[in-house]
Amino acid sequence: MSEDVQAKDTCTAGCIADGATSTSERFLIKVSDDLPTLEECHSFVNLPSCGAISSFTGITRDNFQGKTVNHLSYEGYVPMAEKELRKLCDEATTKFPSIGKIAAVHILGDCPVGSASVILCASSPHRKEAMHCVEFLIDELKAKVPIWKMEVYEGDDGRVWKENIEWKEGKPKRVMVRQD
């Protein structure tokens, strides 16, 4: 690959060419009860220099271990959660330098079955970095960003505060605390 082609595939060259010169222009970060749509996140990361956009959308499912889920409810301290998301986006663009833009948004409050609780999008000149970036972001978001999830069940099954899976010594560990 020539140096000219390599330069076009780097994030810095692509972002400057597309007008995004600072992290505030490069990242869409929001933790709120009012999320942008997947289409809005996709539109934000779309750059002429990028041939790939990868996305992940976490959706509230209707069941967990034989119980019917009514909804999820998320709580968090917005300034700290957004600061941690920004750090993750910075880490991601260091780890995956060809990334053009990132959208990382998470809901607070109630999230009904079938609705999005988290949307992550990343653009890059080629597909692999965008796909790996989004995978990195969701794994790290669940491990590091201070957002807490309560699963609310139908009927007398109550509600449970759920801690995201943490990786310790290569093994997943999940902690659940029943709330009556």
Q: For position 39, what pLDDT does the model report?
A: 98
The more confidently predicted of residues 5 and 56 is 56
Structure tokens at 37: 């749509």
Q: 165 pLDDT band (50/70/90 cuts)?
A: low
Q: For position 131, what pLDDT does the model report?
A: 98
For residue range 77-107, list pLDDT tens digits in order. Answer: 999 999 999 999 999 999 999 999 999 999 9
- Alpha carbons 142 and 120: distance in angstroms, whole number: 12
Instruction: State yes or no: pLDDT of 12 exceeds 50.
Output: no
pTM value is 0.82
For residue range 113-159, list pLDDT tens digits in order. Answer: 999 999 999 999 999 999 999 999 999 999 889 999 999 999 877 99
Task: Print burial letters for 128-166: b (CB count within 10 Å at least 16), e (below 16).
Answer: ebbbbbbebbeebbbebbebebbbebeeebebbebebee
Q: For position 116, what pLDDT does the model report?
A: 97
Local structure of 111: helix, strand or coil: strand
Q: Assess contact for 111 and 60: CB atoms under 8 A.
A: yes
- Alpha carbons 40 and 132: distance in angstroms, whole number: 21
For residue range 36-77, list pLDDT tens digits in order. Answer: 999 999 999 999 999 999 999 999 999 998 999 999 999 999
Distances in Å between the Cα of 76 and the Cα atoms of 6, 21, 150, 167 are 41, 30, 12, 21
In the block, tokens 């010594």 appear at 169
